[in-house]
Structure 1
Amino acid sequence: MFKIRIHNKKWSIFIICLIILNVVLFPIINTADEETSRETIEDKLLSITEEEKEILEFLFIQVQEIEELEREEKSLSEELSIMQFEIENLEDRITSEELSYNSYKDVLKEVLKTYQRMGPGSYIEIILSSNSITDLFNRINTLRDLTKGTGSLLEDLDDSLAKLSLQKENLAEKLSELENKQVELRAAIDKKAQVIKTKEDYLISLADDKDYYLERLTDMNNAMNELKTIIIELSEEFTHLIEGANFSEDAIKLELSISGMKGSIDEDVFNKIISEHPGFPEMKFEFKPGRVELAIPEKNVFFAGNFIVIDGKSLEYEITEGRIYDLKLEKSSIEDLFSTGYFILNLEPLIDKNSIKSIESKNGYMELGIGIKLF
């Protein structure tokens, strides 16, 4: 497997990097931090100075980038293993078909010679000259085919050869893909090594305070793990949000025009529905022109993105940016948090047989374009 070589004179720096990577990329076992309460973690993360925040955010971003490289490396390794398995299977199939083809071709060659020499009226010698039972059946089957027409048999052989050639071409393409994947894997690993190298000087300057920042990074890791668990639960609950909600008559405002029907829901009404759902923590959506923001205060989390229409019945909250304890979340970290899917809002209980054509976030409300289905 690939290895990253580090010069001896940089060994101490590399150790610091490994410590930071280990804190974030691997489970923390039997440490005092595991017993730290959520309140204590929050207090420590919220009490840092602006200078400490800048340093921690820098390290946090680097860690997120390295995590993404690790995920890419794992994904590429899995793809390589699958592709290698497919190639081995294809090679075995080609070898088997080549043996069958060559064996069949040899039998046909001998039979055709005898057939041409003796004419179609005498097959006894062909059968009696067989070397084995298998050879006998091959000759009988071949003669049967010959009686139906040698042209048909030759066409079948040509087809077999063409399929074999195509399989070889596919194998060559797969081998090429494998080589490209190997290059990508090498590039990803080299990129990871470069990220580590760019931090060396900075880590040297933090050597005296590394325990302090390692502890903060551990707190961030714990907070991220807790947040991911909560998001998975929220995603499941969000789908059923509308089904159990109690709507007042004016909760959804409808407007009919020559261009169709429009529906709108106010920000306050939407947040009230969420606040009344027993499975949700305190959450607040804020609708702005072209942008929907979400705050989860008790988790010190902020997201921003937009609702998009999926399948004409549901809305998906697609997140493009986020922060935790006011530290920026990289795109890869957001994708990892929502690896099981973004929040999906099923509006079918409201729109019945109708469909959602469009959605637009306005100042304080969402506007839906609704397609009417009368029958």
Structure 2
Amino acid sequence: MTSALFEPIKLGNITLKNRIVMPPMTRSRASQPGDIANDMMATYYGQRSQAGLIISEGTQISPMGKGYAWTPGIYSKEQIAGWKKVTTAVHSNGGKIFAQLWHVGRVTHPDNINGNQPISSSAIKAENVKVFIDNNTDEPGFVDVVEPREMTLTDIKDVIAEFHQAALNALKAGFDGIELHAANGYLINQFIDSESNNRTDEYGGSLENRLRFLDEVVTTLVDAIGSDRVGVRLAPLTTLNGTVDANPEYTYTEAAKLLNSHNIAYLHIAEVDWDDAPDTPKAFKLALREAFKNALIYAGRYKANTGAKAVEEGLADMIGFGRPFVANPDLPERIKTGAPWAQHDPNTLFGGGEKGLTDYPTFKQDK
């Protein structure tokens, strides 16, 4: 039974029609030049508006925040106008959508950030990490990341201000709220995790110091648009993009307590999702549930039945289904009726056009 996934839920001041989340997934289809969301993206998100909540693909808050070719931004007037097409399409189909605000920090290459050296918590290169650049073809060209420079206190203040403005821009573009990307080895994660932060000032060393940047960014987002419109994504046990923490369960339970103190609308946990990855320990999930009182979203290797069970057990309030939403624009309907799920084509995930983005049929169309 999957009925638990179809109960409405209040998220901040909005009511969602179900507990199925389309989580953020980079698709790299933004119009060039300018990294602008476009009509094709509006169609894609509009098709998937059966989700209780859509969280947009990561959208960079500044030119320096860009990690990969053809990803959208949310700092220019043209970008705001592009995202307005997306939010209009989702709302016209009865959906709700949050913008994921993104700064990649060191997970980039000078070719993606106007020839500049990347910035991070510390001057530590992410090992064995590649990003893709525009190599003047339709196929992304993968290159190694480079060593970043350690952010100065001025840099930190500037990025906090960029997050503030990006949240305001998101509301201007018609989003219902924002999700702060503090997961998967990107900038905020680079401050949190012990092995990617060797600072000796108030932003490094102790856990309290390593959580300071997260705290200050969330403070400015809440100040900009209100706590009821803010969510945060964390990835406690993943080591994506080279970020490793010496004691992740303790670190991220403390992070959850910190976020709870801000009364944000939700906490979104990205679980390790490769096929033979270990499950997140139940004791850790219970600790997160105890630490954070508002809505908890989990995304990982969930099927309809395991997602419903997590909601029924009270471990989660909502469940994100990532890659299944790529090939199944009508995923909630398929879950409700027990229809089979189509498989996505991994070759069309990043870059390109309509193929592999908007041309997946619904189950009814496919019959």
TM-score of the superposed pair, with normalisation by structure 2:
0.18
TM-score of the superposed pair, with normalisation by structure 1:
0.18
